[in-house]
Amino acid sequence: MLHPYKVNFGIQRRAGSLVKSVFSKRGQNLKFGAVSVLIACACSLAENSGIDSVQIAAQPIIGGYAALEFGQLVKARYRQMDFSGGDFRNLWVSHEYLSFSVKHSIGDHLTLLGSLEARMWYNSVPFSFNPDQTEGFPRQNFDITFPAAAGIIHFGRISQPEFSLTVGRFEYKYNDEARNLGEYLFRTGSYPGYVITNFDLPLARLSGIKASLRFPDFLEQNLLLTTLREIRPFYDLSVSYLAKASIGKIARIGAGVSFDNCVDAEIPENSVTKSYAQNGYLTSPTDTGYYTFKGTKLLAHVTIDPKSFFRYSPFFGDEDLKIYGEAAILGLKDYPASNAFDSLNNSNPWGYDDLSKRIPAMIGINLPTHQLLSYCILPAILGYELEFNADRKLGKTLTCGLPGLVLGVGSWVLDHFCGTNTRLDLISLEAEWYGCPYQDSYANPMTNGLPVPSTIRTPGYSDDKGEISYDDVKWSLFAKKRFLKNGEIIVQFARDHSRSDIQLKKYSDFQAALVRPAHWYWMSKIKFYF
């Protein structure tokens, strides 16, 4: 039996001493005074709301999932290899996941969240690029992460609070429809620009504080103070504000701004070299300026459901035909190109002087999930488009389409006469354009601590130009089906911003692996919730 007990926080006294101790230190700690003030104010509000003396009435909700993920990099590139020989083909990828989560409500105003995710994976370095095994042995590896470890203070109805304050590590997603591409505000860099995507993870995992204000069924606003943990500059603070509104069932619109790395943590690992050869540019014939990681990002996204304008038939599912899009500006400030030459290729011959090349934009649509389309027509189109040998296109189309025709008709008949549900829950097709003139890589920030693009050659080489322009277009096809109440199958075909997994972090692949028109992969996941 779970006995209720009293929780006494001693909030005002502890918060006051925290602020005093932070402001009494010199130098960089003064910059974090605002964080302490915010925590102190929230704690004071919580105390006035009665959280200092509450009864624990509910038992924790424990859940999680187990999943098997597997697929194939049909054609991709590894670790910025030479442009003539860096591609590999048909590399199998496999991951296993086990996740546990706990949610515990303490009274009416406080919820604690925690989750642990373990991943087992195989070193995917192509053997032809790793014959001496300097970049990891071909063996299984293990990762453990905390997707969530946070406390949420509620003000209002706990089922849908008007105001809440989340402190800790949490998952955040603002574009409800995005399945792979998009979510640019927290999955990108400004200087240099890069984009990150991960299969079946169209969101960001953030560490910091989130204040949310909601007006049910109409408006939601979020103010976030977050710190960067995975990519340099480590521990710098970013301030972001996002808002989204619903216009009935017709549309949702949203916008946001992020002052990226606006507060410097001032730790040695983040120090930017002030060297003209590596990080400098001329502001005048005699003056030198230096690039910085700080940047202002702007965001806009919209979702439209055209089914709201007409009475649709059972041919369409609830999620079908939704059209959505997103665009972001990754850095408002222009920087000129550098004419310096560094033997380590750390200079910036492109500069950041064209705003249009710092705007990733995506558009997506939820395709009809009728069996004839999802099991027959769509596989035939994929077979045709993903076969780059013209002589084999017809054969690949028939190979993919004809079995799908039998499956599509058979599943429709089964549903119609037997009352089953073989229809997919969702099919999402997304496309993106991002005209960044340099590689989609954060190698220079990570390895050298420099806010300049990662490059092997200067723009004068034809191969280099081809490499940089050919990766402007990305696409993704995502499908999902729930089964047996707690089961889920996910399949994705894509050419996105994925990177390769390798064992040794020293040799991590910071560059996107899919950079040519012929590069693509397929991945699938079988997941069971408990």
Q: Average pLDDT in the 122-146 region?
A: 65
Measured CA to CA, the distance from residue 168 to residue 263 in angstroms comes to 19
* CA torsion angle 71 75 76 77 (round to 10): 140
Minimum mean pLDDT range among 29-38, 105-114, 500-509: 29-38
Query: What pLDDT was estimated at residue 495?
Result: 94
If phi > 0 it is left, if psi is from -120 to 50 it is alpha, else beta; for residue 85 that is alpha
Q: Tokens representing 398?
A: 């028939």
Q: Is 371 helix (H, G, I), strand (E, B) or coil?
A: helix
- Banded model confidence at residue 158, pLDDT cuts 50, 70, 90: low
Report pLDDT digits (tens) over 388-406: 777 777 887 888 777 777 7
pLDDT at residue 492 above 60? yes
- Banded model confidence at residue 508, pLDDT cuts 50, 70, 90: low
- Banded model confidence at residue 493, pLDDT cuts 50, 70, 90: very high
pLDDT at residue 441 above 80? yes
State the amino acid at position 330 in one-letter form.
Answer: L
State the amino acid at position 1 in one-letter form.
Answer: M
Look at the alpha carbons of 233, 236, 241, 242 in this order and tell me if their dihedral is positive or negative: positive
Minimum mean pLDDT range among 20-29, 49-58, 500-509: 20-29
Give yes or no for a contact between 73 and 513, defined as CB atoms under 8 angstroms apart.
yes
What is the reported pTM?
Answer: 0.82
Report pLDDT digits (tens) over 324-356: 999 999 999 999 888 776 555 556 777 888 899
Query: What pLDDT was estimated at residue 437?
Result: 86
Angle between helix 378-385 and helix 393-418 axes, rounded to 10 deg: 160
pLDDT at residue 91 above 70? yes
Q: Is 90 helix (H, G, I), strand (E, B) or coil?
A: strand
- Banded model confidence at residue 112, pLDDT cuts 50, 70, 90: very high
* DSSP codes, 115-150: EEEEEEEE----GGG-TT-TT--SSEEEEEEEEEEE
Query: What pLDDT was estimated at residue 175?
Result: 95
pLDDT at residue 86 above 50? yes
Give yes or no for a contact between 69 and 81, defined as CB atoms under 8 angstroms apart.
no
Query: What pLDDT was estimated at residue 448?
Result: 82
pLDDT at residue 296 above 90? yes
Measured CA to CA, the distance from residue 421 to residue 405 in angstroms comes to 17
Element (H, E) at 64: strand 61-77
Look at the alpha carbons of 127, 132, 136, 139 in this order and tell me if their dihedral is positive or negative: positive
